[in-house]
Structure 1
Amino acid sequence: MTTIRPEKCDEQELRTLFLFEKLTSAQLTQLCQDGHVEWFDPGPVYQEGDPAAAFYVLFQGTVVVSRRVGGQDVDVSRTAVPGVYAGAFQAYLGDQVPQLYNNSLRVTERSKFFVLPAETFAKIMNEWFPMAVHLLEGLFFGAKNVQEAVGQRERLLALGTVTAGLTHELNNPAAAAVRATSALRERIARVRQEFAELVAEPHRGQALVHLSALQELTVDQIGQAPPLSPLQAADREDELGDWLEEHSVADSGQLAPVLVQANLGTDWLDRIAGALPEDLLDNAVNWLGCTVEAELLLNEIEDATHRVSALVEAAKQYSQLDRAPYQNADVHEQLDSTLLLLAAKIGPDITVVRDYDGTLPGVPGYPAELNQVWTNLIDNATWAMRSTGDGHGTLTVRTAQEGDLVLVEFRDTGPGVPADVQSRVFDPFFTTKPVGEGTGLGLDISWRIIVTRHHGDLRLQSVPGDTRFQVRLPIDPAETETETETQTETGPAEADTPQEVP
């Protein structure tokens, strides 16, 4: 940092700044005694994370405010308005908050500042404006409490979205398992009945031995052949029905569809007919048919329970209940669990495309909070595509590595975000959804989780038919992180206020 030697403070010049225009002459005199005027050549004035040592007010020049994102400085504000202030403007809070610069400040041309040491600024504020200080303290911590309450509500909304999807998804396999269990009980009863008829005839010992071997062969053969198309299945069903009728097998109309479902054909029936006496064929085929139905129902129950288990595992992964709050997270695992839990809300008319980079490394962070971001962004994309009327669209979830950052992109084919409001989408309580359908909190909370908690970046690119929310997270964040969430944080739009350079 290159500076010119401080020059004498002019009280009348100080009064031209809106921050000081209402002060008395005595107060201006004290300011000039305690502070000084300083020129800075183009370059840095102070760095984010350093101890907040001074309060800066711009006389003339151009200042740029930046934030550190993924190890890089990202410009968030640029202004040349005289009177804007930056630096230790929270010094009046004392040790109630960490007194660190929460951004970096640089000048792009030779610029002139009034500089006041942080301790002096805090003392003046408390001595001159004691009531204002109490009001500001209440405003600061009140806003912080509101942010926490808003965050909690948004987390509950995200949890409600996931819970609704999970309930719906769990209901389907659970109901299927109940139906299959009831049907299986009936089939087992029929198996007992058919077997009793088989053994009722004397001198059938050798035939039953063959039948037992055929039963094992049948079970092994179920589902081995590739699945049939609807047309192939219909042809196979007709073929089996004709065979069963020709051989006088009872209930051929009910048995043929079961055999088709198990991928069993006339070659299987020919093998049974060749191994058993003709008078035993009817009972034997029906008995084996019951065995086939029982196996198919067992497969259905197994599939249903596996699906329930997968959903429970996805919910466990989503909630991170059994894991450390901060850990090295698998982004793909998070995305898959979130997509699974939101499958019912996404619906069958929206195509989900996973474009994952298989070489992606883990990302250090708070997985439960990142899952909340994925939920918000997927939910917004789904709503946008449904808002067009037909409800159809494509959601593409893409991951990639960009240098020392991980990119997670959510792209939808909805109508897009109007250009005149794109700069406001991350503002608290701003929403493009109709009244009652959106809180305006999801993107604000997502921005804070990504930028404040994970030192990443969240951006929007949108044109009709192609809207992309891009999340960038650092792969190797600094070991010592500034706890910026304990300070007043402003979203992207708030950083452009002409009075304060945050």
Structure 2
Amino acid sequence: MNRPQMPCNPEEIGSLFLFEQLAPQQLGRLCSEGRVELFEPGPVYAESDPADCFYVMIEGTVVLSRRVGDDDVEVSRTSQRGVYGGAVQAYLGDRVRQVYNNSMRVTEPTRFFVLPADTFAAVMQEWFPMPVHLLEGLFFGSKSVQAAIGQHERLLALGSLSAGLTHELNNPAAAAVRATATLRERVAKMRHKLAALAEGPFSREMLEDLVEIQDRTAERVAKTTALGPLETADREDALADWLEDHGIDHGWQLAPAFVQAGLDTDWLEQVATAVDEEMLSGAVGWLNCTVETELLMNEIEDSTTRVSALVDAAKQYTQLDRAPYQVVDVHQLLDSTLLMLSGKIGPRIEVVKEYDRTLPRIPAYPAQLNQVWTNLLDNAVSAINSAGGQGTLTVRTALVDHERVLVEFRDTGPGVPPEIRSRVFDPFFTTKPLGQGTGLGLDISRRIIVDKHRGSLQFESEPGDTRFQALLPLTAETPGEPS
């Protein structure tokens, strides 16, 4: 757009606080290589566009804003002469992607001194070499420190998750080991029972009937469902009484396994019908071995399935074998993170899932979203623990405005004090005890949600009800570069 260009007066430029210490020849160079432009009310430049000019306001009113999700949030409004914006980091050259970090607009006719970015960089490096070196060191040093601490925080989180995963894996693995050892004993016992049956006076028809009952029993064990405590006790009593009435010793020891397998007195009657009375005790003992073996195999299957599920959750959480940017189901990401953190959450915190299962899949960096969920869940758990360690953690998803997915983490902790609410997203700010937090968790989370995913991260808090809300767009814009 062609805007009115006005004469550049070195004396007027020199009256601006940025340039008041410059020599006349330096001011002359600025006027010869820069320009004065008049902007009517409206935009000057837009956030994320290539930063090709450095702007210094001579007179007028400017408003600076940042994009948060679908909204432009005003961060500054001023009429002070000499305020500046635009390509303020041009002196860093191509070592940093040169884009506008905010949007600028004017609310009345406003005059700017406009300097091309490459000219601004040249005069900075020529006139102020030592300050430029100091600024470069400060900028890149700060980046390095943040990256190092961010990596340290990720390693701490990984250590915590590894400890939790180890704990979660140990339970089913130990159960499988115990069940396998017991199964070995039961198989040996079954071999002895089989030898005893072979030596007994069983007819061919009796053995065929017994094998058929054994097959049906195995099928029933595979399909059994758990009973309530009262129903279990009643059925155990009934089976023990039946076994005792039919002269089978230690019936009370056999009854629990039969009940766990879903068997009842009707099943025992079928066994009694299939064999002679004097063979009943041996047949019941043989079938008891079958039942115990099937139950142990069920336990091993459940344990190994649990281990497999934990490994799948770890793969889902880390996304090691998947593309960095893809279309994902946020519920799968949330479930894998909750499972990885289950050891840290502990039994005293109730986790409530309020998922909208109709939500569509969204384009995202899943591994980085898992890092956000980890940070927000960790903060929620810490808040609940600070209030006694018992409470409720609610994870909710919903569709907002038909355009965004909401992921909300709600805890019943003490809340965020009003005096620090404006600082919770600041780098290195933490309320955790020394050594327990870097203060980068929420800053990293905000940058992942806002910068990488073009979403927004906000919170509401009062005692007993704190909610951190991430809003993610349903459609893909140009994603930010992954860190």
Shorter-chain TM-score range: over 0.9
Q: Deviations for 1:400-438, whole angstroms, at most 9, x for unmatched residues?
A: 243332222112222111122112111111112222322
Partner of 1:79: 77
Q: Which runs of 5+ in 2 are unaligned?
A: none
Is the aligned partner of 1:6 residue 2:23? no
Q: Contact between 2:65 and 2:72, CA under 8 Å: does it hold in 1?
A: yes
Q: Contact between 1:2 and 1:43, CA under 8 Å: does it hold in 2?
A: no
Partner of 1:313: 312
Q: Deviations for 1:169-228, whole angstroms, at most 9, x for unmatched residues?
A: 111110110011111111111211222222212353332222111111211222645431
Q: Deviations for 1:252-276, whole angstroms, at most 9, x for unmatched residues?
A: 2221111111121111112212221
**AA of the residue aligned to 2:137:** G
Local SS of the residue matching 1:114: strand
Scaled by the length of structure 2, the TM-score of the pair is 0.93
Q: Contact between 2:13 and 2:19, CA under 8 Å: does it hold in 1?
A: no
Local SS of the residue matching 2:427: coil
Local SS of the residue matching 1:222: helix
CA distance in 1, matches of 2:49, 2:438: 36
Higher RCO (Cα < 8 Å, 6 or more apart): 1
**AA of the residue aligned to 1:116:** L
Q: Deviations for 1:60-79, whole angstroms, at most 9, x for unmatched residues?
A: 44433233445x34225123
CA distance in 1, matches of 2:253, 2:323: 55
Q: Deviations for 1:460-492, whole angstroms, at most 9, x for unmatched residues?
A: 11112221111122222334x56597xxxxxxx
Return 139-148 or 309-318, whichever deviates more.
139-148
CA distance in 1, matches of 2:114, 2:393: 54
Partner of 1:267: 266
- Equivalences for residues 70-469 of structure 1 within 5 A: 70=69, 72-80=70-78, 82=80, 83-222=82-221, 224=223, 226-469=225-468
Deviation at 1:309, TM superposition (A): 0.8
Q: Contact between 1:49 and 1:103, CA under 8 Å: does it hold in 2?
A: yes
CA distance in 2, matches of 1:215, 1:477: 59
CA distance in 2, matches of 1:170, 1:445: 29
CA distance in 2, matches of 1:2, 1:349: 66
Scaled by the length of structure 1, the TM-score of the pair is 0.89
Deviation at 1:38, TM superposition (A): 3.9
Return 288-297 or 353-362, whichever deviates more.
353-362
CA distance in 1, matches of 2:184, 2:480: 63
Local SS of the residue matching 2:350: strand
**AA of the residue aligned to 1:444:** D
**AA of the residue aligned to 1:264:** L
Deviation at 1:311, TM superposition (A): 0.9
Q: Contact between 2:393 and 2:409, CA under 8 Å: does it hold in 1?
A: no
CA distance in 2, matches of 1:482, 1:432: 30
CA distance in 1, matches of 2:166, 2:74: 42
- Gap change, CA 1:61 and 1:176, over 3 Å in 2: farther
- Gap change, CA 1:61 and 1:418, over 3 Å in 2: farther
- Gap change, CA 1:62 and 1:73, over 3 Å in 2: farther
**AA of the residue aligned to 2:92:** L
CA distance in 2, matches of 1:191, 1:377: 53
CA distance in 2, matches of 1:316, 1:333: 11
CA distance in 2, matches of 1:408, 1:390: 24
Deviation at 1:150, TM superposition (A): 2.3
CA distance in 2, matches of 1:74, 1:158: 33
- Gap change, CA 1:108 and 1:465, over 3 Å in 2: farther
Deviation at 1:27, TM superposition (A): 3.7
**AA of the residue aligned to 2:9:** C
CA distance in 2, matches of 1:484, 1:171: 34
**AA of the residue aligned to 1:326:** Y
- Gap change, CA 1:201 and 1:482, over 3 Å in 2: closer
